[in-house]
Amino acid sequence: MPAPGNGYEKLLQISEPPQRVVSLVPSLTESVFDLGLGSNVVGITDYCANPEQALKDLPRLGGPKNPRIDDILAMEPDLVLANMEENNRQSIEALEAAGLNVWVTFPKTVREALDLLWVITGIYSSVDAAIKLETLELTLKWAETAAQEKKAVRYFCPIWSDRTEAGQAWWMTFNRDTYCNDVLGLMGGKNIFSARERRYPLAADLGEEEPETAGERDTRYPRVTMSEIIAGNPEIILLPSEPFAHTETHREGLLSLLPETAAVKSGKVYLVDGSLITWHGTRLARALQELPDLLAGDSPKD
């Protein structure tokens, strides 16, 4: 995927409220329905899950990375919702080449994500959706105010892990130029890898050789070593359920690997619903209910 800021993300250009919408982004599918605008959605991805009952009869058009272009064209949508990170460039360009109006979104902050929802609400001139967003805005303001009154908590949040061919373990995380970093920051978290950029190739990212020039490659998701995590000494470690499905086994592994960190010493290594951290949109409402307490050191809710 290209690096941010290269013009791949596109503004919505539409003159009338779209009546046939295909969503290739699970978080946007959920958001459109939460805003009361789901009657306009005619097709979704295989991974769109919420709201379950409302989606059960809608056509599934493939995954976000591999949508079935011909099936989408057959739906004759007047708008396709896409995302720069979740959908591949080739699919988006194929849909555009066929004459479809594709809105490529790319919010990297909570503010940008909310602005996106306001655009959708404005297109349909929906008073009910506007009231819901005003409530969400107010709840966010309360959470921000509460977080500002407390000391920020240093956290580590891996979103992938693997080993090199030589057997060295590494963890992928995110830096300050991401939605994940912003949503956790607004709720009282301080990312220990906020300033860390991804280096290429992997060996350079792990400090084993000199890096190449990144060029257009994305530098927002560094791969870090155990020694870097120990040096950062996180007070809390969050293990999200997506995009990498962390389990109790992974949690126990980190407990044994990082015994000297503040997080392990205080027992604050938590499994967490990854959508609260990675999904932009109305899922923010749930994040506002659960993440502040989690960052304060309370165990995740069942």
Q: What local confidence, expressed as pLDDT, does residue 170 receive? A: 98
Going from N- to C-terminal start, the domains of the chain cover 21-106, 145-295
Structural class in CATH, domain 21-106 = alpha beta
Q: Which amino acid is at 191?
A: N
Length of the chain: 302
Helix, strand, or coil here: 190? Answer: strand
What pLDDT does residue 10 have?
60
* pLDDT reading at 189 higher than 60: yes
Give the CB-side neighbour count of residue 106, counting CA atoms within 13 A.
19
* Cβ proximity of 271 and 247 under 8 Å: yes
Starting at the edge strand found earlier in the chain, the sheet holding 41-43 runs 41-43, 21-23, 79-83, 102-105
Say if residue 7's pLDDT is above 70: no
Asked if omega into 4 is within 30° of 0 (cis), the reply is: no
pLDDT tens across 224-256, in order?
A: 999 999 999 999 999 999 999 999 999 999 999
- Phi/psi of residue 251, nearest 5 degrees: -60, -45
* pLDDT value at 2 more than 90: no
| 162 Rama class: left (phi>0) / alpha (psi -120 to 50) / beta | beta
| Alpha-carbon gap, residue 258 to 230, rounded angstroms | 7
Task: Specify the pLDDT at position 8.
Answer: 44
264 has pLDDT over 60 = yes
21-106 with 145-295: one CATH topology? yes
Task: Compute the distance between CA of residue 168 and CA of residue 178 in angstroms, rounded to an integer.
Answer: 26
pLDDT given for residue 105 in this prediction: 95
Supply the Cα-derived Rg of the chain in whole angstroms.
20
Domain spanning 145-295 has what CATH number?
3.40.50.1980
The fraction of the chain above a pLDDT of 70, given in percent, is 94
Average of per-residue pLDDT values in the chain: 93
Contact 48, 123 (CB under 8 A): no
Which 3 state secondary structure label does DSSP give 62? Answer: strand
pTM exceeds 0.75 for this model: yes
What are 51-109's pLDDT values in tens digits? 999 999 999 999 999 999 999 999 999 999 999 999 999 999 999 999 999 999 999 99
Question: Is pLDDT above 80 for 1?
Answer: no
- Closest-CA residue to 179 (of 272, 245, 113, 271): 113
Asked if pLDDT for residue 299 goes beyond 70, the answer is no
Q: Which pLDDT tens digit goes with each residue over 9-44?
A: 565 677 789 999 999 999 999 999 999 999 999 999
Res 5 pLDDT > 50: no
Q: Determine the Cα–Cα distance for residues 20 and 90; give it in Å rounded to an integer.
A: 22
- Give the C-alpha separation, 226 to 158, whole Å: 12
**CB distance 5 to 219 below 8 Å:** no
Phi-psi region at 164: left, alpha or beta (left = phi > 0; alpha = psi -120 to 50) = beta
Integer angstrom CA distances of residue 286 from 17, 33, 113, 173, 274: 28, 15, 15, 22, 12
pLDDT tens digit sequence for 105-157: 999 999 999 999 999 999 999 999 999 999 999 999 999 999 888 899 999 99
Residue 296: predicted pLDDT: 86
Per-residue pLDDT of 209-228, as tens digits, reads 999 999 999 999 999 999 99
> Whole-angstrom Cα distance, residue 65 to residue 84?
11
- Does residue 94 contact residue 24 with C-beta atoms inside 8 Å? no
